[in-house]
Amino acid sequence: MNTLRTFLFSSALLVLLVLAAAVQPAIAQKAHGIQEHHQTIPAGKTCSSCHQMTYAQWKGSPHGTNDVQCTVCHGEITAQSVAATPALSVCEACHTEQVAQLKSDPFMKRKTCVTCHPAHGFMVHKKAAATGK
């Protein structure tokens, strides 16, 4: 009976560890951005010429609504590389208070902006109404 309990406990623990690893962001935002090779954009073309789905998501996000252009986060596409995943300092340039909170909250350890806010399709938090007791 004790062996069965040990097996069940070990199995449950293994499942929880696998689930915990699975919910971590696939691409974590680090102190240094991830650079990727990118072709130079031909004259008369824009990011949305090739990245139509990403552009559509971005357009509906607060960044799109406020016309925060692709180059603000990803850099100019004049070089042969682009910040595929911008560094946390890029977010911090505009969102100083939020990044400071993220860095100081023990619950947010190893989490980044993109953990909760997908890069191009995030929505702002809606604050819950205060309940009187």
User: What tens digit of pLDDT does each residue of 51-68 get?
Assistant: 999 999 999 888 899 999
Q: Which residues contact 62 (CB under 8 A, 6 or more apart)?
A: 122, 123, 124
Q: Which pairs from 74-81 meet CB under 8 Å and 24+ separation? A: 77/38, 77/40, 77/41, 77/47, 78/40, 80/37, 80/38, 80/39, 80/40, 81/35, 81/36, 81/37, 81/38
Instruction: Report the mean per-residue pLDDT for the chain.
Output: 76
Distance separating alpha carbons of residues 86 and 27, to the nearest angstrom:
11
Mean pLDDT of 7-12: 73
pLDDT of 131 reads 55
Mean pLDDT of 105-131: 73
Give the domain ranges of the chain. Answer: 28-116
If residue 36 lies in a helix (H) or strand (E), which one and from where to where? strand 34-37
Higher pLDDT, 14 or 28: 14
Q: Please indicate, yes or no, whether the overall pTM of this predicted structure exceeds 0.75.
A: no
pLDDT of 15 reads 64
Inter-residue contact 66 to 124 (CB < 8 Å) = no
Higher pLDDT, 91 or 31: 91
